A and B are shown apart, each in its own frame.
Chain A
Amino acid sequence: MSNMTASLTANHVSLKLPAFVQRERAVGNWWTMLARAAFEPPRREFRTILDDIHFSARAGDRIGIVGRNGAGKSTLLRILAGAYQPTSGWIDLLGSRQALLNISLGFNGEATLKENIYLRGTAMGIRASDLYELVEPVLEFAELREKANDRLKTLSAGQRMRLGFAIATAVQHDIKVMDEWIGAGDASFIQKAKERMSNRVDGAKVVILASHNFQLMKDVCSKGILLERGRILHMGEIHDTLKEYEGVLRHAESTAP
């Protein structure tokens, strides 16, 4: 854990991505429809996924990102995680960063839990000498100690999520970028995970979290960003942002056919 101050800034970040679309045409019969699906090459179109995203997170900020499906939340997280590079604009980063976007992926199903902890640990850049100390606390937190030498394949989705969460939060980083990690855990684990999140606020200086879970957002986050069609619609205190978001949802419901 470093005592340096951490910050994460997005400077007018935009992202355009090519999308491959099939032409829409009136279909004569089954045969032509099948033949077209097989032989017609998709057309390439550029779509603006994120448009002029500009915000700054300082030490102590826990920012919740909300928005409807397809608003660009996950894409923004991947840019903040350093995976995607913006088409224009840039990210300023101070401090160490860890993303937890796919916490139940990236495992080797045939390997044991212990081996997978090493695997994910090395992927996160932990050096060999520190890996051994990682295993016990992770198994402890995930409540999977008795399965340490079982194959990972034998875990349920919820257990896998618990293991992924435990590994990803075992090491303290200055900046954490997280997506909907709360999917499959049971109630008691979710409580535990929330506690870990809150307890670690002092350590993780900046937290960026995307979720549809209002309660989680209220518990964990201090500020909020509402995305709609790739733009920031609202930015402010988390309670205000959630209220705005409720408005967007109500509006979408009332205009839906």
Chain B
Amino acid sequence: MIFRQLFSSLREPEFWAYSSWLDIVTKYRRSRLGLLWLLIPPIIYIFGVGYYFAKLQGVSPLGFIPHMGVGYLLFRFLMTTIMESASILPGNASFILDGHVRLTDFVMRVLAKGLFYLIVSLPILVVVLVLAPQLEPLGLLTMVPAMILLVTNALWMGIIVSLLGARFPDINELMSSLFIFGFILTPILWTAAAAPVGTAHGMFMRANPFFHMIEIVRAPLLGEPIEPFTYAFMAVLTVAGWALTAFVYKRYARFVPLWV
């Protein structure tokens, strides 16, 4: 059921594509800088915070900023997609109650918005990567399948969270605490080498799906060592995640109109 609905969402993208585009353009329409606002926060984070933390840890900013920049952009994508999913179904209650019950459309709306933000910040990423001394050109190739894997996983997480958010209004608050913790637990401002296997904090880091989702894209790109465990984790996460989503969606999607 979930896959059937998902495919028809992809075949008829008009509603979610147009509504996420409207969300973006209307947000910045009345501001003087307009869509430039899409670029300003990532520039500040990546170059400002990146430089500051590189100095703080006594490492070269040119090496650290790419690590932090890629990590930050991917984490932001995951965070906005999953967090906004928590409130997307109640937010679209009027459509749902009029009988628009293909719920995947609404999650696609959130995902499309997150992807758009990610794509807009690609120029910054290019600058950062060109400056990076440790760039592995081969990593650019593995980045494509790795990104598809990351987005696929973000999608099922969004679907699960959207259902939870429709049923339990407190999910929103849980999500924001979870992501603050998740940001600290993910090697964005620090590197995975600081949490080796066998330590307590290393175990914490490896139990964190965001670590693996980001690492599988970033590590080959920046020539950082990637553990075989990450590949295994991602395979299990993808399969088990979608199986869980299929089950939960089939069982609970019909109750969503009652909850919102």
Contacts and interface: CB of A to CB of B under 8 A. Distances in A.
Q: Which of A84, A99, A108 has the most CB of B within 10 A?
A: A84
Nearest to A101: B98
Contacts of B92: 106
A85 interface: yes
7 contacts: A81-B99, A82-B101, A97-B99, A102-B94, A110-B27, A115-B26, A118-B18
A108 B23 contact: yes
B18 A99 contact: no
B250 interface: no
B97 A83 contact: yes
A155 interface: no
Nearest to A177: B99
Interface string A76-107: 00100111110000000000010111100110
Interface stretch (A119-127, A132-140, A211-219, A243-251): A119-127
A123 B257 CA distance: 16
Contacts of A84: 257-258
A233 interface: no
Contacts of A110: 26-27, 29-30
A105 B96 CA distance: 11
Interface in A161-206: 177
Contacts of A33: none
Contacts of B254: 85
Please name the 4 residue pairs, one residue from A and one from B, whose CB atoms are nearest each other, closest first.
A105-B94, A110-B26, A82-B99, A81-B99
Contacts, number: 67
A157 interface: no
A144 interface: no
Contacts of A17: 258
Interface of A: 17, 78, 81-85, 97, 99-102, 105-106, 108, 110-111, 115, 118-119, 122-123, 125-128, 131, 177
Interface in B91-142: 92, 94-101
Contact of B14 (A83, A101, A102, A122): A122
Contacts of A85: 254, 257
Nearest to B26: A110
Contacts of B29: 110
B178 interface: no
B208 interface: no
B22 A106 contact: no
Interface string B68-106: 000000000000000000000000101111111100000
Q: Which of B14, B94, B99, B100 has the most CB of A within 10 A?
A: B99
Q: Which of A85, A101, A115, A123 has the most CB of B within 10 A?
A: A123
Q: Which of B25, B27, B97, B254 has the most CB of A within 10 A?
A: B97
A84 B257 CA distance: 6
A117 B25 CA distance: 16
B19 interface: yes
B19 A78 contact: no
B27 A99 contact: no
